[in-house]
Amino acid sequence: MSAAAILTGALGSVAALAGGLVLISFLLGRQAERRVPPLGGFLELPDARLHYLTMGAGAPVVLVHGLTGQLRDFTYALAGKLAQDHQVFLFDRPGSGHSTWRRGGDRGLAAHAGMLHAFIAGMDLRKPMIVGHSLGGAVALKCAIDHPDIASGLALICPLTQPIGDAPPMFAPLLIESDLKRWLLSVTLAVPVGKLKRAEIARMLFSPDPVPTDYATRGGAMLKDRASVFRTASREVLAVQAEMQDIADRLTEVHIPVSILYGREDAVLDPVLHGQLTAGKLPKADLSMIDGGHMIPATRPDAVAAWIRRASASRQEQSGAA
């Protein structure tokens, strides 16, 4: 067999393998969207189409999810408890869940903070309390810096608040600078490999707490089996590296009250760095600790809901006194 024939055969095999991976990725993504459909309605904004849900009645609270998450991170256990005495607003950040960007351009933390501001304005809310989990905490802080009058206060659950030298091991594969490489990986290897590793990653996220057996569907984790979510997460991890230092340097500009809650055994973000250090730099902040890991909105919903209620009541008392 000639060298040309061998090369042609090898290229054909590579093309067939790539084509197979693309098909598998597509089918897994469609399966995820069928098994985890939208829960609410859609808010049409100039820059994005946001999937959102409202629950309950009372003082408004807006919940902001973290990296690769979506609003089911909260509806799994926490939102229903809060909705007993609050009006709860949840939305998928663009590129996650069932929300999509309408145009290109900046999609970093500043853009997501702007989208949070647009959501609050679009829902005609007046100074709600913003609750941010994990990366959602960084988004909430950036929103409070850029739009100081948008919220009555922040309640940050296991938040990312400081720059970190290295991404947590589970997120390190997302550090892809090249747009082309990111796209190629997203439509070929990322989804099948991610599905194979999903249980392992979930154990790291939830540690030391057990992973709920129905979190893939009722908690929405299956929606990670999509190429678009991989691309979004990669951009967000890069944005953290590029933008977190500025957010940390401007913490003194956040003059609304900020409550921070951490699980003592958080294996994803360091409670001392992102909780204790940050609380010491914010003008009006308090830090609470409870047992549990990074996913306490799902594993400790009663304790987290009680903490949010205390923070909300404090904001309302301060507003009444003013």
Task: pLDDT tens for the chain, 322 residues: list them.
Answer: 565 554 444 444 556 666 778 888 889 899 999 999 999 999 999 999 999 999 999 999 999 999 999 999 999 999 999 999 999 999 999 999 999 998 776 789 999 999 999 999 999 999 999 999 999 999 999 999 999 999 999 999 999 999 987 777 778 888 899 999 999 999 999 899 988 988 999 999 999 999 999 999 999 999 999 999 999 999 999 999 999 999 999 999 999 999 999 999 999 999 999 999 999 999 999 999 999 999 999 999 999 999 999 999 887 766 555 5
Q: Which domain holds residue 18?
A: 3-321
Residue 104 pLDDT = 74
Hey, what's the torsion of the CAs at 311, 317, 318, 322, to 10 degrees? 160
Q: How many domains does the chain have?
A: 1
The pLDDT, as a whole number, for residue 9 is: 47
Q: How far apart are CA 13 and CA 308, in angstroms?
A: 56
Give me the pLDDT at residue 7, please.
45
Question: What CATH number has the domain bearing residue 48?
Answer: 3.40.50.1820
Q: What confidence score (pLDDT) does residue 149 get?
A: 93
User: Among 117, 62, 107, 61, which residue's Cα sits nearest to residue 232?
Assistant: 107
Task: Write down the pLDDT at residue 28.
Answer: 87
Instruction: Give the per-residue pLDDT at 10.
Output: 45
pLDDT of residue 6: 47
